[in-house]
Structure 1
Amino acid sequence: MRVIADRPRALGVAAALAAAVFFFVLGAASRPLLASEESAPATVLNSTELGFVQDMTAHHQQAMILVQRLDPTVDAGVRALAEQIADTQRVEIGTLLGWTQLAGAAPTATTPMSWMTAHHHSTGPATMPGLATRAELDTLTTARGSEAEILFLRLMYHHHAGGITMARAADALLTEGPVKQAARSMAQSQSREMGSLGVLLELRGARP
């Protein structure tokens, strides 16, 4: 009779134990989910990637200005190359701006080139390579004919040389990822365009 009387009590203890195990397992399973929701979001771009993306956006924007200020009546070959460069850089600007938006950052940097000076242990700000001066942009705006062609080709040649310097630096500093791939692609495409710019200058008896 004692065995029969103790059976309900044993069943109750077993049920309570099973319930405790169930809630323990459920809590352990949900803990990673809750922790992931409370953790900080993953970094979209590291400091080198963000700095390069912001500076290359500004660099590309000036290339677009150079094309816009070129005399529309220049030789068709020069105009075609200018439009090709503008089309390429316009697409790349869209990609660069997309990255800064994902990172929640400004399109361009407050302190340009800080991503390069940090790695070269420089104490002062670096000048972004290849940019035309305001005076050169103003001169291009008023230049016409062969003068406009030569000035544009020279300014864009110098501009691309600076862009390649920046792209190769980013490629060397970054170990992997889409920004590294984009930097390498930019260096390659701008090197090819520099070749075309150099040929057009030689045809006009001018040098970069």
Structure 2
Amino acid sequence: MSACPTGRTRWVAGSAVALALLFAGAAAVASARGDGAQAGPLTPTARSADAGFARDMAVHHQQAVEMSFIVRDRTRDEDVRRLAYDIAHTQAGQRGMLLGWLDLWELPKTAPEGQGPMAWMPPGTHGGHGAHGTAATRDADTDGALMPGMATRTELERLDGSEGKPAEILFLQLMTDHHEGGVAMARGCAERCTVPVEKRLAQGMVEAQQSELDLMADMLAARGAAPRP
């Protein structure tokens, strides 16, 4: 693996790319009308799917980054560490874009009063696995798991207390659940969001995370394990 200075350099470089993409996204939002007229900013409302997805996916991504950093310190397996770095790097950059769009739209980063997580998606379309492996929307008060696929506080503590192969398997299982929930959310935005650049980002998330789901299934099989049912 790279020494720490090199790792920090790569992270800074990735942040610069994310910032460039954010400004490009802002330009795309500002010109979203595409009818030849002078376009003003396309500003979603606080209760729109665009804003809801940006808020919720930013929180969802933050946990993926947290789990990735935990497992990087719990295993020496190069494949798992590389996957963890890629997930952390990608999702931290995307999180910055999502929060940047909320700033651009002058919208709060917390949900409006009376609107909890995932309220922008119709009931029954959330997908993902709950804390005990059932396909369901997690209750906002269920041990810290706010949205589909998110790990509970208890599961994060288990991961933090694991080492070696057990940590690898638990990370891959938790991240599989996490990606399944994230894919469902991204598909929801691709269908319901109205800002073109955000819809494109969501569709890109679906494709990238589905590819990582296939990779993680292979990595679990190589360790004599499988995704949680």
- Provide the TM-score with structure 2 as the length reference: 0.66
Query: Aligned pairs, how many?
Result: 163
Q: How far apart in 2 are the matches of 1:97 and 1:171?
A: 18
The aligned counterpart of 2:104 is 102
Distance verdict in 2 for CA 1:109–1:175, change over 3 Å: closer
Residues 129, 162 of structure 1: 8 Å contact kept: yes
Distance verdict in 2 for CA 1:116–1:168, change over 3 Å: same
Report SS of the residue matched to 2:120.
helix
The aligned counterpart of 2:201 is 182
Residues 58, 99 of structure 2: 8 Å contact kept: yes
The aligned counterpart of 1:168 is 187
Q: How far apart in 2 are the matches of 1:61 and 1:80?
A: 18
Report SS of the residue matched to 1:54.
helix
Residues 50, 195 of structure 2: 8 Å contact kept: no
Residues 70, 152 of structure 1: 8 Å contact kept: yes
Amino acid at match of 1:77: D
Q: How far apart in 2 are the matches of 1:182 and 1:108?
A: 21
Decide which structure has the larger Cα Rg and report it. 1
Q: Residues 1-208 of structure 1: matches in 2 within 5 Å?
A: 43-46=42-45, 47-70=48-71, 72=73, 73-109=75-111, 111-117=116-122, 127=138, 128-174=147-193, 177-208=196-227
Distance verdict in 2 for CA 1:42–1:84, change over 3 Å: closer
The runs of at least 4 consecutive aligned structure 1 residues that moved more than 3 Å come to 117-120
Residues 44, 50 of structure 2: 8 Å contact kept: yes
Cα offset, 1:174, TM superposition: 3.2
Report SS of the residue matched to 2:76.
coil
Report SS of the residue matched to 1:114.
coil
Residues 130, 160 of structure 1: 8 Å contact kept: yes
- Provide the TM-score with structure 1 as the length reference: 0.73
Q: How far apart in 2 are the matches of 1:140 and 1:118?
A: 30
Q: How far apart in 2 are the matches of 1:112 and 1:155?
A: 20
Report SS of the residue matched to 1:70.
helix
Cα offset, 1:107, TM superposition: 2.6
Cα offset, 1:172, TM superposition: 1.6
Distance verdict in 2 for CA 1:118–1:204, change over 3 Å: closer
Distance verdict in 2 for CA 1:77–1:170, change over 3 Å: same
Report SS of the residue matched to 2:81.
helix
Cα offset, 1:94, TM superposition: 1.3
Identity among equivalent positions (%) equals 42
Q: How far apart in 2 are the matches of 1:149 and 1:108?
A: 33
More helix by share: 1
RMSD: 2.0
